[in-house]
Structure 1
Amino acid sequence: MILFPAFAALTASLGWATGAVLAQAPARALGTFEFTRIQLLACSAIVAAGCAGLGLWGSVSWGHWPAFAASIVIGILLGNLAMIECLRLGGPRRMELLLSLKAPVVGVMAFAWLGEVPNIPDLIGAALALCGVALAILYGSNAQSASDRTHGRLALIVLLGLLATGCQGAGFLIVKPAMLDGTPPLAITAIRLLGAAFLISLVALWPAPALRSHQPLTPALLVRTILPGFIGYGVSSSLLLYAMSVMDAGIAAVLGSMSPVLVLPIIWIKERVAPRLPALLGAALAVAGSAVIGLL
């Protein structure tokens, strides 16, 4: 039944939008590296324990370990470091808009690496998505919204968002063959998180000031850091992987890319500040462009 996986992909979008809003303040308090390290360590332990409790480890197709390794480094470690820095500097709305470019960015990578030529609907969808993101980022900011204030150069924010988009899109697609061979999506999520947590812990041994926390870690800050990570890494990623394993990957990606639209009412409810019209139009265009790419 296609209804359940479609609902799973939409729920993943809602989870990412909610997690992005919740993560902004603790990410700015701790810094990108420390925030990501704490999230990966905590969420990998939670998801791995869940897999053990459900008896999923025996279903893993370990012959796909090169894909697991590539997905860990590219999709989780590099992708999420870029994403959190983009969130910290640009806010949740801009980050989610840039992540909505996953479909056209992956299309460009496929053209460059595999020689796949995009068709007319793909080009139209990419143009719509790019126009929507440009409109919302350039003209959709609301100075009254605390979440919408930038803390860095706009060009750097866009570059980080595009890097996160490309890395995460590649990371999800790399592990689809393993899911088709019977590996449960939750187990793949656990493998990716455990590997990334191990690697980022090794990097943390380097005594560089940039890798240290900006503020002392309090119990309240720890909870505010772990919660959005569990929503994003544990729940939303597993739901999207499940949807991609059951239904067409393009359709699942479209349904899983609704965060730019969903994040706007969440910010509105949280801050009591209505989004500007260009932000609404830009988010709608971005999602429409992804829909054209995924559905036509």
Structure 2
Amino acid sequence: MLGALAATTASFGWAAGMVLAHGPAQQLGAFEFTRIQLLVAGLVTGLLVALLGQWPSVNWQHWPSFLVSISIGVILGNLAMVECLRRGGPRNAELVISLKAPIIAAMAYFWYDETLEPADLAGGLIALGGVSLAVTATHSNGTRGSVAPVLFFGLASALCQGIGFLCLKPAMQSGTEPMALGAVRLLGASLLVSLAGLWHQTRSVSAREVTPNLLFRTILPGLMGYSFSTPLLLYAFAHTQAGVAAVLGSLAPVLILPLVWIVERQRPSPRATAGALLAVTGAAIIVLV
């Protein structure tokens, strides 16, 4: 029960973060935006873990899994997601990447012999159907050129993120706190991204263009996503079926609809509302049945 609620809350955090991140991401560009978020979120999360005394909980015997999660789950997963977004637009990117739920469920079956109960399977299918209906109801397409690269990068992102989360399950089951594990991922990823920035020596925006207001609007959604939502989803993966956690952690495209309505005054269409209701129904079946 707590794992399911944690995954659902993580989806809400990502949805709110996406709404807040839209403007800053356009101004800074994908690389600089991601670099700032990873650096600040990593430092803040690491400090919180230190204050809570959770660093000793990290089982460093699982360092190969940490390295895989950082390099594949965080770095490659985010790069593929950005490329999918660039080529396909937000609607198609969200739709394809939401397929990470069945991908993770399938990997968990072969990796950990996890099988879903009939109610969980039914709820997951209903929730995914609702996500697909809600996302495809958006008014703009945004696809440029062939749809094949969009599918390739979207599925690659979903696969990389799934591997990044699943490979950490043994570490969490050995007693590593989810927030401490999130800090390890963030600090490792921020180091790699910073090194890549030094190698590239190219920046999409000059330092004087990064105003305090823009910096705050960049950092806030990063903290919501990386420091708040990621540890919650890691907790969900540790304490519930991976497929269930993945489905409930994929509700952001639906939860974003009322937030966009409130923030940007864009009322969702009836089809999008129906999809949202379906997704909530599926989530309720998983949590309550």
| Superposed pair shares fold, TM > 0.5 | yes
2:194 is aligned, of 196, 201, 207, to: 201
Confirm whether residue 141 of structure 1 aligns to residue 138 of structure 2: yes
1:172-224 Cα offsets, whole Å, 9 max, x none, are 11101000000000010000011111111111122365xx2246322222111
What residue in structure 2 maps to residue 44 of structure 1?
42
What residue in structure 2 maps to residue 177 of structure 1?
170
Contact 2:4 2:287 (8 Å CA) reproduced:
no
Contact 1:98 1:133 (8 Å CA) reproduced:
no
What residue in structure 1 maps to residue 204 of structure 2?
213
Q: Counterparts of 1:136 and 1:68 in 2: how far apart (Å)?
A: 34
Q: Compare 84-93 and 46-55 and name the one that shifted more.
A: 84-93
Gaps of 5+ in 1: 144-148
2:217 is paired with a residue of what secondary structure? helix
Confirm whether residue 56 of structure 1 aligns to residue 54 of structure 2: yes
**Identity across matched positions, percent:** 52
* Cα deviation, residue 270, structure 1: 1.4
* Cα deviation, residue 276, structure 1: 2.2
Q: Compare 61-70 and 277-286 and name the one that shifted more.
A: 277-286
1:273 is paired with a residue of what secondary structure? coil
Contact 2:124 2:247 (8 Å CA) reproduced:
no
* Cα deviation, residue 119, structure 1: 9.2
* Cα deviation, residue 280, structure 1: 3.6
- After the TM superposition, which residues 86-235 of structure 1 pair with which residues of structure 2 at under 5 Å, given as runs? 86-87=84-85, 94-107=92-105, 135-136=133-134, 138=136, 140-142=137-139, 150=142, 152-153=144-145, 155=147, 156-207=149-200, 209=202, 212-214=203-205, 216-235=209-228
Code of the aligned partner of 2:181: I
* Cα deviation, residue 288, structure 1: 7.2
- After the TM superposition, which residues 8-47 of structure 1 pair with which residues of structure 2 at under 5 Å, given as runs? 8-47=6-45
Q: Counterparts of 1:36 and 1:261 in 2: how far apart (Å)?
A: 23
Q: Size of the alignment, in residue pairs?
A: 285
The structure-2 alpha-carbon separation of the partners of 1:256 and 1:123, relative to structure 1 and needing over 3 Å to count, comes to: closer
Contact 1:11 1:236 (8 Å CA) reproduced:
yes
Gaps of 5+ in 2: none
What residue in structure 2 maps to residue 146 of structure 1?
none
Code of the aligned partner of 1:202: L
Code of the aligned partner of 1:166: L
* Cα deviation, residue 67, structure 1: 0.3
- After the TM superposition, which residues 217-296 of structure 1 pair with which residues of structure 2 at under 5 Å, given as runs? 217-282=210-275
1:213 is paired with a residue of what secondary structure? coil
The structure-2 alpha-carbon separation of the partners of 1:117 and 1:186, relative to structure 1 and needing over 3 Å to count, comes to: closer
1:142 is paired with a residue of what secondary structure? coil
* Cα deviation, residue 163, structure 1: 2.3
TM-score with structure 2 setting the length:
0.82
Q: Counterparts of 2:248 and 2:105 in 1: how far apart (Å)?
A: 17
1:78 is aligned, of 67, 76, 79, to: 76
Q: Counterparts of 2:267 and 2:229 in 1: how far apart (Å)?
A: 26
2:250 is paired with a residue of what secondary structure? coil
Q: Counterparts of 1:96 and 1:193 in 2: how far apart (Å)?
A: 23
Taking only aligned residues, the RMSD between alpha carbons, in angstroms, comes to: 3.5
Contact 1:28 1:88 (8 Å CA) reproduced:
no
Q: Compare 5-14 and 226-235 and name the one that shifted more.
A: 5-14
* Cα deviation, residue 49, structure 1: 0.7
Q: Counterparts of 1:294 and 1:164 in 2: how far apart (Å)?
A: 27
* Cα deviation, residue 84, structure 1: 4.0
